[in-house]
Amino acid sequence: MCRRCGGHHDPALPCHTWARRRRTEPPLVAVSGSLGAGTLVAGRYRLHAPRHRLEGITRYSAHDLERGRAVWVDLLDPGARHDARRRFLRGAAIGAALPAHPNVVPLVDRGEVELDDGPQAYAVLAHQDGESLAERIAWRDEASIEEACTLLRGVLEGLAHAHRHGVLHRELTAARVWLVPRPGGGETVRLAGFGLACGFDAVSVPGIQATRPTGMSPEEAMGEPTDVRSDLYCAASLAWLALVGQPPFVERSFSRYLRRLVQDPPPRLRFHRPDAPSALEGVLRAAMAKDPADRPASAEAFLELLEACCPSRSTLPPPLRG
């Protein structure tokens, strides 16, 4: 039986069913964009070509003329409703207030400008070299056990920092996890997207949170209140994605995906990765428990469990292409 599609075919041949799914559900969507290269935003940020589009937000490579540095500019769609702009700007303000941390992409500016297409909210993030986890998976299906554990450790360190300052991520997807080369070798894991975060005083807004399925916990799918344990569920799902090359649940229909997310127990990691330690499988299954009360209580607690089965290394090894 194929580990990816559940069907029966020659294991020496590629899984065309999964390949089709990946082509129809790309993690990053290229756009042409209505704003051309050279457009000046807020009198300071000169836009270059759009990098990608994700959930109504277009990210542009740009140059900060005031400080002479490369940045990213995230622009909310001009047609976004007023409450969406307000939520985006409020979240961006929370993200900008986060103190600096090695595992968090800094959000350095935000605001709203009048463009030809109408009012647009924007957020400016420090430019990052390297690639996102989504881009990494596109050319390399499965990470080694050591790489996946180091990746998860960096994600949890970033979440622990945000949680200590009262900020949930709530949009933790592979496209928002960056693997940044270090000058001395290896890579640093950094979380982006805190511009869409929400504070603990607004933990649940059923019906308006536009979350990608792979960044959603069961309780969020049911419209129930969320807390730090929802972020931990998504972090464990990202580790699974890195290890297996696909999310824990794969469905063509969004409604079927939600049903499995809410009802089905986490799949067995060792069915897909026999080389994975049983202790690691147990830690990920605990973090992906349907009931938040059965998960680790905090990112620090999750890190302790991870450390017990995967002792830390100082850096994420560089990727091996080919």
Residue numbers in the chain where pLDDT is lower than 70: 1-36, 55, 115, 117-118, 195-214, 312-322
Q: Domain 131-309 sits in which CATH superfamily?
A: Transferase(Phosphotransferase) domain 1 (1.10.510.10)
Q: What is the pLDDT of residue 101?
A: 94
Q: What is the pLDDT of residue 3?
A: 47
Which two structure tokens, joined as six digits, stand for 67? 């400080």
Measured CA distances, 150 to 190, 221, 308 (Å):
12, 28, 13
With CA atoms as reference, report the closest residue to 61 among 53, 71, 75, 69: 71
Q: Provide the β-strand partners of residue 76.
A: 57
Q: What is the pLDDT of residue 303?
A: 95
Using a 10 angstrom Cβ sphere, with 0-12 exposed, 13-18 middle and 19 or more buried, the burial of residue 100 is exposed
Q: What is the pLDDT of residue 55?
A: 67
Signed CA dihedral, 257, 251, 26, 228: sign only: positive
Q: Measured in Å, how far apart are the chain's first and last C-alpha atoms?
A: 26
Fold assignment, 40-126 = Phosphorylase Kinase; domain 1 (3.30.200)
Pairing of strands 167-168, 118-126: unpaired
**CA–CA dist 144, 129 (Å, integer):** 22
**CA–CA dist 256, 263 (Å, integer):** 10
String of DSSP letters for 110-140: EEEEEETTEEEEEEEEE---SEEHHHHHHH-
Which two structure tokens, joined as six digits, stand for 236? 């464990």
- Look over the chain and give the mean of its residue pLDDT values, rounded to a whole number: 79
Query: Tell me, what amino acid is at 158?
Result: G
**CA–CA dist 16, 4 (Å, integer):** 10
**CA–CA dist 72, 25 (Å, integer):** 24
Q: Where are the domains of the chain?
A: 40-126, 131-309
